[in-house]
Structure 1
Amino acid sequence: MAGSDLATNGQVTVFGASGFLGRHVVRALARAGFRVMAGCRRPDLANYLQPLGRVGQIQPVQTNVRYPESLAAALRHAEVAVNLVGILSESGDQTFEAVHVEGARAMARAARDAGVRRFVQVSAIGADAESNAVYGRTKARAEAAVRDIYPDAVILRPSIVFGPEDDFFNRFAAMARFAPALPLVGGGHTRFQPVFVGDVADAVALAAEGGARAGTVYELGGPSVRTFKELMEYVLATVQRSRPLVSVPFGAMEGPAALTERLSGLMMGLFPKTLLMTRDQLKMLGHDNVVSAVAVAEGRTLQGLGNEPRAMESVVPSYLYRFRKHGQFDRDSRLA
Structure 2
Amino acid sequence: MDKGKNGTRNESYAMAGAIIVERISIMSSRLITIFGGSGFIGRHLVGRLAAKGYRIRLAVRDTEKAAQLMTQGNVGQIVGMQTNIRNKASVERAVAGADIVINLVGLLYQSGAQNFNAVHLDGATSVAIAAKAAGAKQLIHMSALGASLESPSAYARTKAGAERAVQREYEGATILRPSVVFGSDDDFTNKFGQLTSLLPVLPLLDGGAANMQPLWIEDLAEAIVRIVETPDAQGRVYEFGGPDVMSLKEIIDAILAVTGRTCFIAPVPEGLMAFKAFFLQMMPGKPFLTVDQVRLLKADNVVSGNYPGFAELGIEPVSLTSVLPEYMTRYQKGGGYSGLHA
Amino acid at match of 2:92: A
Where relative contact order (Cα < 8 A, 6+ residues apart) is larger, the structure is 1
**What TM-score comes out, normalization by structure 1 length?**
0.90
2:105: which partner in 1?
Answer: 85
Give ranges in structure 2 of 5+ residues lacking alignment: 1-21
The answer to whether the Cα contact below 8 Å between 2:254 and 2:321 also exists between their aligned partners in 1 is no
The secondary structure found in structure 2 opposite 1:247 is strand
1:330: which partner in 2?
Answer: 338
The one of 302, 317, 320 equivalent to 1:312 is: 320
The one of 286, 304, 307 equivalent to 1:292 is: 304
1:177: which partner in 2?
Answer: 197
Are residues 130 and 33 of structure 1, via their aligned partners in 2, closer, same or farther at CA, if it must alter by over 3 Å? same
How far the C-alpha of 1:87 sits from its partner, in A, is 0.4
Identity across the alignment (%): 40
In structure 2, distance between residues paired with 1:76 and 1:23? 22
The secondary structure found in structure 2 opposite 1:204 is helix
The secondary structure found in structure 1 opposite 2:141 is strand
The secondary structure found in structure 2 opposite 1:238 is helix
The secondary structure found in structure 1 opposite 2:279 is helix
1:192 aligns with 2:212: yes
The secondary structure found in structure 2 opposite 1:294 is coil
In structure 1, distance between residues paired with 2:121 and 2:177? 16
Are residues 212 and 330 of structure 1, via their aligned partners in 2, closer, same or farther at CA, if it must alter by over 3 Å? farther
How far the C-alpha of 1:8 sits from its partner, in A, is 7.4
**What TM-score comes out, normalization by structure 2 length?**
0.88
1:258: which partner in 2?
Answer: 278
How far the C-alpha of 1:285 sits from its partner, in A, is 0.5
RMSD, aligned CA: 1.7
Whichever structure has more helix as a proportion of its residues is: 2
Kindly report which structure 2 residues correspond to 1:225-304, keeping only aligned pairs within 5 A, or say none: 225-263=245-283, 267=284, 270=285, 273=287, 276-295=288-307, 300-304=308-312
Amino acid at match of 2:330: R
Amino acid at match of 1:194: P
The answer to whether the Cα contact below 8 Å between 1:9 and 1:33 also exists between their aligned partners in 2 is no
How far the C-alpha of 1:9 sits from its partner, in A, is 6.4
In structure 2, distance between residues paired with 1:47 and 1:306? 33
How far the C-alpha of 1:226 sits from its partner, in A, is 0.6
1:136 aligns with 2:148: no
The secondary structure found in structure 2 opposite 1:81 is strand
2:43: which partner in 1?
Answer: 23
The secondary structure found in structure 2 opposite 1:152 is coil
How far the C-alpha of 1:211 sits from its partner, in A, is 4.4
Structure 1, residues 130-167: CA drift from partner, whole Å, max 9, x if none? 11100000000111111111121111100000011111
In structure 1, distance between residues paired with 2:168 and 2:94? 22
Structure 1, residues 284-321: CA drift from partner, whole Å, max 9, x if none? 101111111323xxxx0111111111112232222211
More displaced 10-residue stretch of structure 1: 51-60 or 138-147: 51-60
1:103 aligns with 2:111: no
The one of 157, 160, 173 equivalent to 1:153 is: 173
1:167: which partner in 2?
Answer: 187
More displaced 10-residue stretch of structure 1: 212-221 or 50-59: 212-221
More displaced 10-residue stretch of structure 1: 215-224 or 96-105: 215-224
In structure 1, distance between residues paired with 2:198 and 2:260? 13
Amino acid at match of 1:308: E
The answer to whether the Cα contact below 8 Å between 1:159 and 1:221 also exists between their aligned partners in 2 is yes
Q: How many residues align?
A: 317
Are residues 133 and 230 of structure 1, via their aligned partners in 2, closer, same or farther at CA, if it must alter by over 3 Å? same
Give ranges in structure 1 of 5+ residues lacking alignment: none
In structure 1, distance between residues paired with 2:230 and 2:29? 10
How far the C-alpha of 1:229 sits from its partner, in A, is 1.3
The answer to whether the Cα contact below 8 Å between 2:179 and 2:213 also exists between their aligned partners in 1 is yes
In structure 2, distance between residues paired with 1:250 and 1:9? 53
How far the C-alpha of 1:328 sits from its partner, in A, is 2.8
The secondary structure found in structure 1 opposite 2:267 is strand
